[in-house]
Amino acid sequence: MRVLLTGSAGFIGSHVMEALDHDVVTADLRTGVDVRDPATLDRLLPGVDAVVHQAAKVGLGVNVADLPAYASVNVYGTATLLAAMARHGVGRLVLASSMVVYGEGAYDCPRHGRVRPGPRRADDLAKGVFDPRCPRCDDVLAPAVIDEDAPLDPRNAYATTKLAQEHLAANWARETSGTAVALRYHNVYGPGMPRDTPYAGVASIFLSSLLAGRAPRVFEDGAQRRDFVHVRDVARANLLALGAGTAGALVAYNIASGTPRTVGDLAAALATWTGGPRPVTTGDYRLGDVRHIVASPARAARELGFTARIRFEDGIKEIVAG
């Protein structure tokens, strides 16, 4: 199989490149290849059987000034790529999506069962009430496991553009009878993580602080639950996804370890293995952040044959070792 890999020089894309056992054509903005350029795509796509689309602007973003860049790279770039795939008869897509499309995760209310909370209130956050409230009785909710059929509710610019990518891919699949697989990555970490940038993930931010001799600063109370999945497991999921899917539709999968941790756990583990200062829990917050996302990877195990192999402790040791 001949595969076009976009974002091939990026953190995740470079690991996907290593994992793919196919004839690979690479495309990355860092090497001067922009998927927003139709002429470039017309040069790269002839003879390609599948596209693995990792290219994206990532991270929560700094403020609303980032909106045009997110829309340009993630939305317009994906639309341009899909149109070119249709021109050249490329019928298979693996899309790097994200757990951020869910917004808040799944929650249960003691009185009303499974509910969908609205955005957390600024006055609650300012008072240190970080868990979302029931939309019916206003009680604080408990986190539950989220699966791929949960309602999608993006709550920041990055999340909105990742969901737009999924919708565009679904449109393309229906209109061309193509096969589209969206991999909803949870918190990806591992060798080569971007560092010292406001768009980096939380593991990178904590590690950069520790290596500079500073205590990692943990927002809220540190009890936010996430699923940290190693980048080599994510790369393997992409390889498996090339053989999956249904013609004429988009199918989504949570790519997660299935073993959630708190953000405070992550900071403490990194501090232990670097020998650096203990984390400081600040109580600070960002309105675009969500509280808990605990994923079920059951569909990926059942349909892709994917289960994460790299233990959290081993992955943390590896990134500290550099």
One digit per residue, the tens of pLDDT, for the chain of length 322 reads: 999 999 999 999 999 999 999 999 999 999 999 999 999 999 999 999 999 999 999 876 667 888 999 999 999 999 999 999 999 999 999 999 999 999 988 999 999 999 999 889 999 999 999 999 999 999 999 999 999 999 999 988 999 999 999 999 999 999 999 999 999 999 999 999 887 665 568 999 999 999 999 999 999 999 999 999 999 999 999 999 999 999 999 999 999 999 999 999 999 999 999 999 999 999 999 887 889 998 999 999 999 999 999 999 999 999 999 7
The CA distance from 119 to 288, in Å, is 9
CATH 3.40.50.720 in the chain, residue ranges:
2-105+146-321
227 and 256 Cβ atoms separated by less than 8 Å: yes
CA–CA distance, 11 with 7 (Å, rounded to integer): 9
Task: Supply the pLDDT for residue 156.
Answer: 87
Q: What is 2-105+146-321's CATH topology?
A: Rossmann fold (3.40.50)
Q: How far apart are CA 159 and CA 94, in angstroms?
A: 18
Give the chain as a 3 state SS string.
Answer: CEEEEECCCCHHHHHHHHHCCCEEEEECHHHCCCCCCHHHHHHHCCCCCEEEECCCCCCCCCCHHHHHHHHHHHHHHHHHHHHHHHHCCCCEEEEEEEHHHHCCCEEEECCCEEECCCCCCHHHHHCCCCCCECCCCCCECEEEEECCCCCCCCCCHHHHHHHHHHHHHHHHHHHHCCEEEEEEECEEECCCCCCCCCCCCHHHHHHHHHHCCCCCEECCCCCCEECEEEHHHHHHHHHHHCCCCCCCEEEEEEECCCCCEEHHHHHHHHHHHHCCCCCEECCCCCCCCCCCCEECCHHHHHHHCCCCCCCHHHHHHHHHHC
The rounded distance, in Å, linking the Cα atoms of 139 and 109 is 7
pLDDT at residue 118, rounded to an integer:
85
**Backbone torsion region of residue 33, taken as left when φ is above 0, otherwise alpha when ψ lies between -120 and 50, otherwise beta:** beta
Q: Quickly count: other Cβ atoms within 10 Å of residue 138's Cβ.
A: 8
| Residue 81 CB coordination number (10 Å) | 28
User: Encoding tokens for residue 143?
Assistant: 């986190």
Residue 195: the pLDDT is 77
- Structure token pair of residue 108: 């249960």
**Residue 196: predicted pLDDT:** 66
